[in-house]
């Protein structure tokens, strides 16, 4: 494959419309993200129909801006990449249709990318020297998993959530505390001014490398309701700090355990929750203490963005994977 291979990537799986131009999977020339957070905030979460309509409105301009910022025209682009799953069907459909249109008109190859491979690849953009194998802790609004990344295109899940994803749990706790959407950053911000001194009712953990977050969510909600019923003040900062610490401690402990169990000396985090300051700090500290190298993605590659899709697409295309055509259809429930 020639060096300087430029991919124009599109991501629209949830409520971010994004387009990026990425060179050789490692260098990001542009990464335009049009967020719909303000629109969905008033509904307290993403409304799928509203999300897809807003993708339609935004996508053309986002693609034009990405090309402009990268100082490119479509002629300079070698391939088009798009997220085809997992995600919201209507949202995915907008990106997939647009990418198919672009590929058809320009006669460039079309590469279909799994959103999760994209999240992992956010690290390849952050650390140009990073190569598999490594253990990846994937923490997003839809996933919580510990993954053995054997090479760029071969992964195995060795730990998974049995119910909710951790990001979903952050969002739910935020909602009950009246913090709004998206909850993760808001819980995290409030946690900075509280102390982790609340002991929620914690079940015995017999899950090995797996996780369960619905019980944690319920424990926090019950705690809040009891205080409300007793007419007491809700110590929001302390609740946030205690909840965040509980969750982060478990994520870090199990990730390090996975490294030890499977003999890995490198660990990576990926997904929206990897923007969490406590998680980044604790994983870095605990892995260094165990002689494990720790990689955390730049903030712009934590939450949904197209640059990570462009990076994953490059490694897939290089290995002859993901090359598709006009028959490409979105897969809302695509697994890893």
Binding interface with ligand KG4 (CB under 6 A):
14, 140-142, 167, 170-171, 182-185, 188, 271-273, 275-276, 303-304
Place of tokens 């085809």: 84
Instruction: Look up residue 88 and give its two tokens.
Output: 């919201």
Residues in CB range of 28: below 8 A, 6 or more apart = 20, 21, 22, 125, 307, 310, 311
Instruction: Look up residue 218 and give its two tokens.
Output: 């319920």
User: Which among ligand KG4, Zn ion, none contacts residue 188 (Cβ within 5 to 8 A by kind)?
Assistant: ligand KG4
State the number of CA atoms in the 13 A half-sphere of 146 facing the CB: 24
Give the binding-site size for Zn ion (rule: CB under 5 A): 2
**What is the DSSP pairing of strand 27-35 with strand 16-23?**
antiparallel
Taking the least distance from each CB to ligand KG4, the nearer of 103 and 275 is 275
Q: Smallest distance, Å, CB 276 to Zn ion?
A: 14
Q: Smallest distance, Å, CB 167 to ligand KG4?
A: 3
Instruction: Look up residue 86 and give its two tokens.
Output: 């997992």
User: Which among Zn ion, ligand KG4, none contacts residue 274 (Cβ within 5 to 8 A by kind)?
Assistant: none
Burial class of residue 53 (count of CB atoms within 10 Å of its CB; 0-12, 13-18, 19+): middle
Residue 140 is a binding residue for Zn ion (CB under 5 A): yes
- When binding is defined by CB under 5 A, the residue of 11, 164, 244, 304 that contacts Zn ion is 304
User: Which among Zn ion, ligand KG4, none contacts residue 95 (Cβ within 5 to 8 A by kind)?
Assistant: none
Taking the least distance from each CB to ligand KG4, the nearer of 98 and 170 is 170
Residue 164 is a binding residue for Zn ion (CB under 5 A): no
Residue 15 is a binding residue for Zn ion (CB under 5 A): no
Q: Smallest distance, Å, CB 181 to ligand KG4?
A: 8
- Residue 182 CA, chain-centre distance (Å), reads 13
Q: Smallest distance, Å, CB 227 to ligand KG4?
A: 23
DSSP 12-53: -SSSEEEEEEEETTTEEEEEEEEE-HHHHHTTTS--HHHHHH
Taking the least distance from each CB to ligand KG4, the nearer of 111 and 244 is 244
Instruction: Look up residue 294 and give its two tokens.
Output: 């720790």
Taking the least distance from each CB to ligand KG4, the nearer of 77 and 304 is 304
Note the residues at the interface with Zn ion (CB under 5 A): 140, 304
């Amino acid at each position: 494959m020639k060096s300087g291979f430029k991919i124009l990537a599109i991501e629209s799986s949830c409520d971010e419309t994004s387009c990026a131009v990425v060179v050789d999977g490692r260098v990001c020339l542009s990464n335009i993200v049009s967020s719909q957070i303000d629109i969905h905030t008033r509904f307290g979460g993403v409304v799928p129909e509203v999300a897809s309509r807003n993708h339609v409105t935004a996508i053309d301009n986002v693609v034009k801006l990405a090309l402009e910022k990268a100082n490119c025209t479509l002629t300079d682009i070698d391939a088009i990449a798009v997220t085809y799953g997992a995600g919201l069907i209507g949202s995915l459909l907008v990106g997939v249709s647009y990418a198919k249109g672009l590929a058809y008109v320009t006669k460039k190859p079309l590469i279909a990318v799994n959103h999760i491979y994209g999240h992992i690849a956010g690290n390849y953009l952050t650390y140009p020297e990073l190569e598999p194998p490594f253990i990846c802790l994937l923490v997003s609004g839809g996933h919580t998993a510990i993954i053995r990344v054997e090479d760029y295109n071969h992964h195995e899940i060795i730990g998974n959530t049995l119910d909710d994803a951790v990001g979903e749990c952050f969002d739910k706790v935020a909602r009950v505390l009246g913090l709004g959407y998206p909850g993760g950053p808001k819980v995290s911000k409030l946690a900075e001014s509280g102390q982790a001194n609340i002991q929620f009712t914690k079940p015995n953990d017999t899950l090995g490398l797996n996780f369960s977050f619905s019980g944690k969510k319920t424990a926090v909600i019950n705690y809040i309701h009891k205080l409300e019923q007793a007419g007491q003040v809700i110590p929001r900062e302390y609740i946030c700090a205690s909840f965040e610490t509980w969750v982060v401690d478990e994520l870090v402990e199990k990730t390090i355990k996975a490294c030890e169990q499977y003999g890995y000396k490198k660990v990576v985090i990926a997904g929206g929750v990897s923007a969490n300051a406590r998680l980044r700090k604790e994983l870095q500290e605990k892995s260094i203490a165990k002689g494990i190298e720790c990689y955390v993605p730049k903030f712009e590659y934590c939450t949904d963005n197209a640059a990570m899709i462009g990076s994953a697409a490059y490694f897939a295309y290089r290995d002859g994977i993901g090359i598709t055509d006009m028959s490409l259809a979105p897969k809302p429930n695509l697994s890893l």
